[in-house]
Structures are given as C-alpha cells and as structure tokens.
Chain A
Amino acid sequence: MHMADALVSPAVAGVAGVAAAALIGISSKKVKEITRDDIVPLMGVMGAFIFAAQMINFTIPGTGSSGHIIGGILLAALLGPWAAYITLTSVLIIQCLIFADGGLLALGCNILNMAAMSCLVAYPLIYRPIAGNSTVKWRIALASILASIVGLELGAVMVTIETNLSGITALPALDFLALMTSIHLAIGLCEGVATALLLCFVATYKPDLLNSRSANQADATATDKVHNKKFVIWFFAVLALIFALAFTWIASSNPDGLEWSIERITGNTEIGESIVPSTAIMPDYDSTFAGVIGGFIVMVLLWAICRIIFRKRLSKNYQDL
C-alpha cells in the first residue's frame, strides 16, 4: 500500500504531510503523558519488531500465496493508539529513508493511509469498544479482524482519493475505488486473522503485555473515554479540512476536473472522449515527440560529460546499493 511519489501531486502531498505532522505533534504530547516509564524502549523495539515480523511470511489459507503483517492494530493493542501511531510512523519513515520504500513526498499520505487509519481510527472506533483491555480470546479475535479490515479499507479509500485528487489515473474514481477496496478486503482479512492469532498468543503466554498497559494507563484510559468523542470529531474535522483544501485546489486550477469527479460520483458512467482533467487546458502536443527525443539525446550527453568530470569520485563502496 506504500504510495510512490509519482502518484501524488505536490498539493495533495503537502496537505497530507501537514495533517500527518499535526497528528505526530498531538501523539508525541500524548505519549509523554503515558505513565509507564519503559514506553520509550518498548516503542523502539516494537518498531524494529514490525520490521522483523514483515520478513517472515505466512501462508494464506486456501490460496497458496503468502503475506505478511502490517501491524497497525497489533501495535495499538499493545502500546495504545498514540504510541502506536508514532511507532508506525517511524517505521514508515525508516522504510522511506533507508530502503526507499514509499515516496518521500508521499510520506504524509502513507502515514495517514496506514498509521493514522489503523491506529487512530480503526483501533479506537472498532477494536476498543469490542475488546477493550480484556484477554478473552473471541473478543480479541473478533475485534482484531474487524479493526484490521476497517483500517485497511479506510487506507484503500484514502489511496483512491489521493490518487484521484492528484489527477494521475484516467480510471474513473469509482472503478478505481472498487478495485482498491476489493484487493484490500482480502489483505485486511489476512491481516486481521494474523493479528488475532498473535494477540491470542500474547493473551495466553504473556497476558501482562495486554494487562499492564491497562493497569499503567488506567488514568489515561479513563480520560481517554472523555476525550474519545472529542478526538473523533476533531479527527474528522481535520479530514474534512484536507478534502476541502484539496477540492478547492482542484477546482481553482482545473474547473473541469471537479465537474468530472462529480459527474463520476453522481453515476454518469458515460466515458467521454477526454476525461483526463489535464486535457481541459487543451494541451499542445505538437512538440511532444521532438521534445522527448531531443531531451533524451541531451541527457545522454550530459551523463557522458558528468562521467568524465566526476570519474575520480566513483567509489566501489556503492556496489551493494
């Protein structure tokens, strides 16, 4: 689900980045309030654990293919939503900065889609009401499966919205949405079952991991309940703001784009001859071909020149890149 840079426009990336950063700010304040004093190393090691857990695949029953865990709900159940959000965010940042997995400009989108949706929306709205802090297995199982599916589906919806607002794919929004949500339903189910099994393992062999959080955060949970409603309202207010901004941007830069989206949403399925938003500007394609070829030749020349100038710098250390 990692989005690449190419799939977002700078405006969408910027808005998502600001939203993700705001949530990081809030979360880090909340994490400081956690009374459990080993939360710092625990979060660090759990972040590393998510990396390691993603290396070991499980077989998806009945299909023969394999998958791995993403871990939003798992982390939220073990660390609490705020700490989990920070942990997953740092995993995403490291995946981007060390392994170039997921774009740099798209980082804000990726954090919103994966970390915020599972830890800050699916966990408090689905997991906690069903399972709370209990160690009863069927509750844990039900809660993890539902929360994982909801979290991933929300993420998929976000991906669709972001891609479409960026005007990248010519595929109608609803078709794209259907494609994304059906893929992620399957992924979410697997994630949910895997999370459920893991949390049940924890509940059997190390229940204090689930309990101690509740014991140490007793006061935090109590106040959380009050804050919960406030928080949900607040979160959706931010979401609304994001979309409002994005729509305004689309509308101002490209009126036809908005019209086009609305047409799609209202069910006008007639595929016109030009539905890509950018065509509204009536682009001039005359010099496209020549420009591409000419540019290509110049770039090859540039490369050759650079090689000659910087030849001495070429280092063998990069062999492993």
Chain B
Amino acid sequence: MTDLLKPPVHVEDHGHEEHHGPTGILKWITTTDHKVIGLSYTITAVIMLVIGGMFAEIIRAQLATPNGTLVSLAQYNELFTMHGSVMIYLFAGPFAFGALANIIVPIQIGAPDMAFPRLNALSYWLYLTGAITMLSGFFVTGGAANFGWVAYAPLSNSLNTPGAGADLWIGGLLLTGFSAIFTGVNLCATIFYLRAPGMTMFRMPIFTWNMLVTSILILLAFPVLTAGLIMLYADRHFGTHIFSVAGGGVPVLWQHLFWFWGHPEVYILALPFFGMVTEIIPVFSRKPVFGYKGMIFATLSIAALSLGVWAHHMFTTGVVLLPFFSIMSLLIAVPTGIKIFNWIGTMWRGEVWFSTAMLMSLGFLFTFLIGGLTGIYLASPPLDFFTHDTYFVVAHFHSVVMALVLAGMGGLFYWGPKITGYLLNERLGKAQFWFLFIGTQAFTFPLYILGLQGMPRRMAIYPHDPQWKGLNDLSTVGAVLIGISTIIFVINVVVSWKKYPAGDNPWDGHTLEWFTTSPPPHHNFYRLLQIRSERPTWDYNHPGHRALAHGQHEAHEENDSEVPAS
C-alpha cells in the first residue's frame, strides 16, 4: 500500500513537445491515432443508429394498422432487412469494438496506441465503405436487399432475389466483416503486447478483458461468415450450386454457416456492452467490481459455450440434434446469471450515484434480465417450436439489443468526457434515459404477448387478425418514445458542446484512463502509475481503500471522506 503513496513513475514526459500533424479534415482522413479513428467510428455508428432507427419507425408506423398502406409489401421487406442489417452489422458491432474499444482499450492498459495503427485506420475505412455499399442498395433498380438480415438460401439466390441490392448487401457485409476481423487482430495484439508495466492479465479492467474475448470470438466467427458470403455470391453469379437443391447443394448449409457466425455474433455484440456496464456500475457505487475473477471466467465460459449453440436458431428445421444444442444454450444462462449477480453484488452496500451513465446501466440490467429470461424459453426446443418466427422471438432479441443500446448510451455518457474533455448535460441525459427506458418496455412487452397470440414476424400486414392492432399500437408508441430519446441525445450533444469542462477524472474513476488528461495527449500518457491492482487510479486517489475479500477488513488510518482528485 505504501508503494502507492510514492510519486508516480515518469515513463515519458513530452508535455513540452507538441504533436505536429495535419489539422482539420486532413487530420480525420489521414490519422492513425486510435482516438481520432475511434471518434470517426463513434460518429458513423451513431449515424447508422439513427438510420436504422428511422427504418424501425417506418416499420412500426406500417404495423399500427392491420392493413397498413404506408409502404408496399416489397418496400416493407426491404425495410426490415435493412433495419436488421444496419443495426447489427453497421451499428452495434462497430459501435462496440470500433468506437468505444478503439478509444478506451489502449488507454485502459496504458498503451500509446493500438498495436497496428495503420491497420486500425484501414478497418475504419473498410467499415465506412461497407456501410455506404450496403445502404446504396436503396438507389438501384429493384431496391435494397429484401431477404431478411439472415438471407436464408434459396430465397437469397439470383432466381428469387435478382437485382444489385442483394449483391451490394453481400459486398457491404464482406467489407465490414474484414473491418471487424482486422479490428479483432488489432485488439488482440494490443492487449497481449502493449500493456503497461505491472498491468498483468488479472489486473486488466473488465472492459478490456471483454474486448479481448470479443476479439477472439471475432477471429473465430467472422471468417465463417465471409466464406459463406463468398459461396452465396458464387451461387448468385458464377453458377455454383452450393445452396441449391437443383444442383445437388444443401440450402440448410447456409443456415449452419450463417448461425455459426450468428450466435457468437450475439456475444460479439453483447460482451463489449457487458464490459461497459462493468466499468460504470463499480465507479458509481464507489466499490470494486464484485467477483472480478468470477466475472472473467463467466465471460470466458460464455465465449466457449457460444461456439456450440448455433443450431438453436434452427430447431424448427428438423435437421439438427435437439438435446445437444438445447443444453448448451441453457447453460449459457449460468455465466450470464453470474454476471447479473456480480453487478448487484457491486452495488450492494455501495454508495450508488444515479448519474445518467449509471441510470443507463441500471436500465440495461432490467431490460437485459427480461431478454435473458425469455431467452431461456427459446433454448428449449418444444417452446421454440411454439414461438419460433413469432413476435415472441422479436421481442426477446429486442429486449437484449435495446439493453445494449442503453448500455452503449451509458458508455457515451461515461467515456464521452474523457475523449472530448466536456461533460454532457445530465438533466437532458436523464430525460433521455426515461424516454429510452420506458419506450423500450412499451415497445417490447406488447410484442411478447403478440407472439404468444401467434403473430408471425416479418409481416407487412395482418388483415386476418385485426384484434392485434391495440398491442401493435402500444408497441408503436414505445418506438416513438425511443425515437424521442434519440432526438434528446442529439440536442444534448449540441447544447452541451464545449460547455461543461470535465476535468481529468469527473467520476472518481478506477481505471487508467482516468489518470491521464481529458482528452488524452497524442500518445495517451505523460506519465504512468505503478499498477498494483485492477484499479490503479483509485489506488492512487484512495490509498487506504484497496479491494477486500469476504471477511477481510481494512484498518482505516486516515479520513474516509476524501475529495475525488480531478
């Protein structure tokens, strides 16, 4: 403990020298700085969130009446396909591992940049190109891809879906897929090789741990999708018959390849957001994360299990081994439950401060609990036969992904000040939270009931069952509330622009990023701390308060009510 009272080690001190590089638009285009690339990712991903959200609003408006005529049947198919594709491929993933991980992971482990800065820039440009490629489908004859975000063969072949929209979808996905793979390589290399002295594996913050596991999952899963997409493209244009019965191919193979990527992808999306929440809850409870090592082993076991559960998306195909995939899927509930109990344990006997970031995390916790519990039903084949491809499934995964949106917003409120140097308005942030949280519940709960009443997904109209209108309307109201919350966020960014200086450590943070300046200098640190635990900045600011195991008690020698250093 006394070691921590020593002045911090001066690793490098170039506070006097300025980093000379291009400025303005040229800086954004030519940069290899992970923070600037990360910001580009953040801005692009939030734009994608808004675009995907607008698609969702149109979908919900269409479903507000049983015979909705806002869009045609064909346009509706394009809309939900592109809504899913934009949200999954272009928002959630890139926002997690392109935006926040890119900015935060190197700083959290005391690294000057990512291991391969130029590869990092390439990742961003591939992502942007891929996004534009995929969305440009709307401007070609025949419209954008319209076979659902899962593109099941043979609906996605050239006979059933002719037109360039589908090819642009495949091309865009290949590009963003490579972007994800390169980011995965980069994060792995950064985390394994660029940790500061003293930052052992078991002193890494949970967010960095989760990003490491996410990156490994990316490297295992994305190449399978890439291969599948190339096969699909070959089927469409080069006359192969990999997925067509007529040529001796197997359509279900596409589903296997897709979901072998698709289920790990669920955790590729979720783990970074779990990591964000695991950073936010301890800081705003003023306690170390409860069960730090248990949390890491839970993450590792989620990752391991996630590679063996893909066919639970295919129970109703009748051609997969049900019990194996059922028990593997059910078992994922165990490490996920450990995480939830650890988050509660972190708040337990803490001092919980309801900042916007913390409210978002609590909203995540509740919404994710609902999504997690309903996921357990779907792991049971008989219950999956019952609810498969109904709105029950739609509600389930929207609970999960809306929980991730809540967590991501928490991440922006929490780390935004670090990267920009300015806080966002807390009052507007809280208003945004309540709109987002209540909107999410109002949006998903009616969908659960609709699913149980038998409303199938991907239906542009439901003239046979007009009694579903009431619940659909409630869901549409929820979607509007979510839309309003996004508008509040945009207003918040505008009105808070360079208004509330954050200081280096506005939240009394635990991890290394709160030790450097806001925003951090070109290579992140002027000086580094001695790292003796997973909370170096906390240890430095509160030397008498190290983390304790059960039964241990700290002998307090000095005053407890320290003012957070900032």
Q: Report if A and B associate in a common complex.
A: no
